[in-house]
Amino acid sequence: MGNIRSYFKCDVCGYITLVRAQYGWLDSHPIRYTCGHCKILIKGTATLDQENADFRIDIENAIFISPENEANFYIETSGELLTEKLQPFDAQRHWYSPPPFFESLWAMNNTNNLQSGHENFERFKRNVLNFLYMIKNDWHKIRRINELWQNDNEKYLVQEVHNILPKKQFPMNNKLENLRGVHFLTRYFLQPIIDYKHNEMIFRELKSLLEQNPSNLLELSSFFNGHFRRYEKRILRIMEHFTEVFKFLIPAYGLTFYVTVNEELFREKGMTTAAFEDIKEFYIDTYEVVAELLPIIVAYNNLKYRNDYKKMSSVKPQYDFERFFEIHKGKKIEYIDGTEIFDKLILENAIDNKIRNAIGHNTYEFDGITQEIKYDPVGKNKPSDIQSMFLVEFAGKCLSIFQTVVQIWELIYQTEKHVYVSQGMKPVSPDVFINEFSKLGIKKKKELRDKRRQEKRGKKAKKVQKKMQRKK
Ligand SMILES: [Zn+2]
């Protein structure tokens, strides 16, 4: 990773900003910053031509000028990392300060283990590059496979899945197996950036419900049978949207690997890959979908705690189970308060109805310099109602809400599978289920076993990836 300093003069006010661009492993990345003097948005793209060792920034609302000029402002940009926000230029400080790459390495470094910074950074890099690669090369295939499934187009579905997955383990010979093939591929696609440890909770709870009240569990599954298709369509649309916005969220994803994340970090560091406008739609669309999926979480909680999937909690607001589907989305979200186990599928801080309302009512302002989003969830213009959060925090919410959708999606998948099994459809072998789960989900206590499995998974992943490339 290297960094390049360029001077840009604002087209409007003539003030000069020294842009220190960290180039890394992306061929290109968006750049967004606000002119420190006249406050207009300056947008562009940084392109790295690896072959010709050429780095270029194309920018609008400012022009490139020679470095003899004295800068007024300083900003760092990077497609991958958190960077210093726009600030008045200070020759002494800014000439010798370490570039974003080193700052990130240190932030990912655990003081007890000197290697951990490099290791974490490498993992971060590998995950992002894998996912970007798969978005570019594989997503269109995963999407069309899901579409074929959703449209009951069995003939083409089987053909498409068998282009990628082996017939022996994925026979695709009944609805149960078809669903499993589609789900496996989609889960595989998301693997680089999704944490699958929630699966462990889902399997454990479903197993125990199967012992506790098998007939009611089946009633629950059958009840949702009429909803699965609609749920899957909504979720696929969110996945599609996610593949479009992921490039804006990379620096926030990097925080997953930071040792400490706190308010001070958000105040000091920013991201130049996105403006609030680029990602807000994704958040509110996904929020709507999560709200729509909540009844299945409520049903499972009812079954677990009250032994009947329709029996609602007596200590929460009183709704009939059927009525719960019709209530306002905000009320649905409020109902999930973290007190029952399936609530855990909703990540903490992912669902924020205050920021959602402010986006929905257009009652927010984004300060491009501090990267602070000031928002009014009530919309009555009372200063005491105004709240704020930083752009990086909001980008983190976009990642958490997507992870939440994937977690609920797994619960829906298990429920749908249950319906097909109850209709007498046979899985290729019960063994396949166990293997499949352990490969992508359940963490075993013994490290050794874990490691061996990881190696196996690596081999299998390579095989699938190879196959996908061949079939392009
Ligand atoms: Zn300006």
pLDDT at 465 over 70: no
Per-residue pLDDT, averaged over 429-452, amounts to 47
Residue 83 shares a structural domain with residue 217: no
Q: Note the pLDDT of residue 450.
A: 53
| Token output for 298 | 């409520």
Helix or strand or coil: residue 382?
A: coil
pLDDT at 435 over 50: no
Residue length of the chain? 472
The 10 Å Cβ neighbour count of residue 3 is 18
pLDDT at 77 over 50: yes
The answer to whether residue 157 is domain-embedded is: no
Q: Note the pLDDT of residue 156.
A: 98
Confidence of residue 462 (pLDDT cuts 50, 70, 90): low
Q: Note the pLDDT of residue 448.
A: 46
Residue 90 shares a structural domain with residue 208: no
The answer to whether residue 292 is domain-embedded is: yes
Q: How far is the CA of 60 from the centre of ligand 1 (A)?
A: 12
Residue 222 shares a structural domain with residue 340: yes
Q: Note the pLDDT of residue 275.
A: 78
Residue 381, sorted as left (phi over 0), alpha (psi -120 to 50) or beta, turns out to be: left
Tell me the C-alpha distance between 293 and 313, whole Å: 18
Q: How far is the CA of 219 from the centre of ligand 1 (A)?
A: 63
Q: Note the pLDDT of residue 19.
A: 93
Q: Which of 257-261, 274-278, 340-344 shows the lowest per-residue confidence on average (mean pLDDT)? A: 274-278
Q: How far is the CA of 11 from the centre of ligand 1 (A)?
A: 7
Q: How far is the CA of 53 from the centre of ligand 1 (A)?
A: 31
Q: How far is the CA of 35 from the centre of ligand 1 (A)?
A: 5
Q: How far is the CA of 12 from the centre of ligand 1 (A)?
A: 5
| Token output for 215 | 């007939």
Tell me the C-alpha distance between 272 and 84, whole Å: 9
The answer to whether residue 237 is domain-embedded is: yes
Q: How far is the CA of 388 from the centre of ligand 1 (A)?
A: 25
Q: Note the pLDDT of residue 258.
A: 92
Residue 48, sorted as left (phi over 0), alpha (psi -120 to 50) or beta, turns out to be: beta
Neighbours of ion ligand 1 (CB under 5 A): 10, 12-13, 35, 37-38
Q: How far is the CA of 72 from the centre of ligand 1 (A)?
A: 11
Q: How far is the CA of 463 from the centre of ligand 1 (A)?
A: 52
Tell me the C-alpha distance between 34 and 433, whole Å: 52
The answer to whether residue 162 is domain-embedded is: no
Tell me the C-alpha distance between 409 and 415, whole Å: 10
Residue 318 shares a structural domain with residue 435: yes
Which has more pLDDT, 413 or 443? Answer: 413
Q: Note the pLDDT of residue 439.
A: 43
Sign of CA dihedral 77, 81, 86, 88: negative
pLDDT at 345 over 50: yes
Q: Which residues pair with 76 in a beta bridge?
A: 20
Residue 200 shares a structural domain with residue 96: no
Confidence of residue 442 (pLDDT cuts 50, 70, 90): very low
Q: How far is the CA of 42 from the centre of ligand 1 (A)?
A: 9
Count CA within 13 A, CB hemisphere, residue 102.
6
Q: Which of 20-24, 152-156, 179-183, 209-213 shows the lowest per-residue confidence on average (mean pLDDT)? A: 20-24
Return the amino acid letter for 338.
G
The answer to whether residue 8 is domain-embedded is: yes
Q: How far is the CA of 111 from the centre of ligand 1 (A)?
A: 42
Per-residue pLDDT, averaged over 303-332, amounts to 95
The answer to whether residue 383 is domain-embedded is: yes
Residue 74 shares a structural domain with residue 200: no
The answer to whether residue 234 is domain-embedded is: yes
Q: Note the pLDDT of residue 454.
A: 58
Nearest Cα to 3, choosing from 75, 72, 73? 75
Q: How far is the CA of 40 from the centre of ligand 1 (A)?
A: 6
Helix or strand or coil: residue 415?
A: helix
Residue 332 shares a structural domain with residue 200: yes
Q: Which of 12-21, 86-95, 455-464 shows the lowest per-residue confidence on average (mean pLDDT)? A: 455-464
Confidence of residue 431 (pLDDT cuts 50, 70, 90): low
Q: Note the pLDDT of residue 441.
A: 36
Confidence of residue 438 (pLDDT cuts 50, 70, 90): very low
Tell me how many domains the chain contains: 2
- What letter does residue 256 receive in the DSSP assignment? G
Q: How far is the CA of 91 from the centre of ligand 1 (A)?
A: 20
Q: How far is the CA of 304 from the centre of ligand 1 (A)?
A: 60
Q: How far is the CA of 395 from the centre of ligand 1 (A)?
A: 26
Q: Note the pLDDT of residue 471.
A: 55
| pLDDT mean across residues, the chain | 89
Query: Among the three residues 54, 82, 100, which one is the final residue of a domain in this structure?
Result: 100
Q: How far is the CA of 8 from the centre of ligand 1 (A)?
A: 10
Nearest Cα to 184, choosing from 363, 417, 356, 469? 417
Residue 311 shares a structural domain with residue 412: yes
Tell me the C-alpha distance between 405 and 118, whole Å: 31
Q: How far is the CA of 16 from the centre of ligand 1 (A)?
A: 8
Confidence of residue 445 (pLDDT cuts 50, 70, 90): very low
Q: How far is the CA of 249 from the centre of ligand 1 (A)?
A: 26
CA 321 to chain centre: 30
Q: How far is the CA of 41 from the centre of ligand 1 (A)?
A: 9
Q: Note the pLDDT of residue 29.
A: 85
- What letter does residue 471 receive in the DSSP assignment? T
Residue with tokens 């829906």: 412
Q: How far is the CA of 89 from the centre of ligand 1 (A)?
A: 15
Return the amino acid letter for 320.
D
The DSSP secondary structure of 304-368, one letter per residue, reads: HHHSSTT---SSS----HHHHTTS-HHHHHHH--S-SGGGGGSPTTT--HHHHHHHHTT-EEEET
| pLDDT tens, residue by residue, 29-75 | 888 889 999 999 999 998 887 777 788 889 999 999 988 889 999 99
Q: Note the pLDDT of residue 272.
A: 84
Sign of CA dihedral 21, 22, 26, 31: negative
Full domain range(s) for residue 268: 193-441
Query: Among the three residues 31, 65, 100, which one is the final residue of a domain in this structure?
Result: 100
Q: How far is the CA of 68 from the centre of ligand 1 (A)?
A: 19
Tell me the C-alpha distance between 26 and 1, whole Å: 10
Query: Among the three residues 65, 100, 135, which one is the final residue of a domain in this structure?
Result: 100
| pLDDT tens, residue by residue, 359-388 | 999 999 999 889 999 999 998 989 999 999
Q: Note the pLDDT of residue 447.
A: 46
Q: Note the pLDDT of residue 176.
A: 96
Q: Which residues pair with 389 in a beta bridge?
A: 373
Confidence of residue 444 (pLDDT cuts 50, 70, 90): very low
Residue 94 shares a structural domain with residue 231: no
Q: How far is the CA of 331 from the centre of ligand 1 (A)?
A: 44
The 10 Å Cβ neighbour count of residue 80 is 26
Q: How far is the CA of 83 from the centre of ligand 1 (A)?
A: 21
Confidence of residue 430 (pLDDT cuts 50, 70, 90): low
Q: How far is the CA of 371 from the centre of ligand 1 (A)?
A: 17
Q: Which of 83-92, 309-318, 415-424, 441-450 shows the lowest per-residue confidence on average (mean pLDDT)? A: 441-450
Q: How far is the CA of 38 from the centre of ligand 1 (A)?
A: 4
Q: How far is the CA of 20 from the centre of ligand 1 (A)?
A: 18
Q: Note the pLDDT of residue 443.
A: 37
Cβ 160 vs Cβ 148: under 8 Å: yes
Which has more pLDDT, 471 or 200? Answer: 200
Q: How far is the CA of 276 from the centre of ligand 1 (A)?
A: 20
Number of helices and strands in the chain (H, E): 17, 13
Per-residue pLDDT, averaged over 287-307, amounts to 97
The answer to whether residue 407 is domain-embedded is: yes
Q: How far is the CA of 14 from the centre of ligand 1 (A)?
A: 6
Residue 125, phi then psi, degrees to nearest 5: -60, -45
Tell me the C-alpha distance between 9 and 65, whole Å: 7
Residue 264 shares a structural domain with residue 388: yes
In the chain, the percentage of residues whose pLDDT exceeds 90 is 71
Return the amino acid letter for 23.
Y
Sign of CA dihedral 404, 405, 411, 414: negative
| pLDDT tens, residue by residue, 103-151 | 888 889 888 877 888 999 999 999 999 999 999 999 999 999 999 999 9
Q: How far is the CA of 419 from the centre of ligand 1 (A)?
A: 61
Nearest Cα to 212, choosing from 307, 313, 348, 81? 307
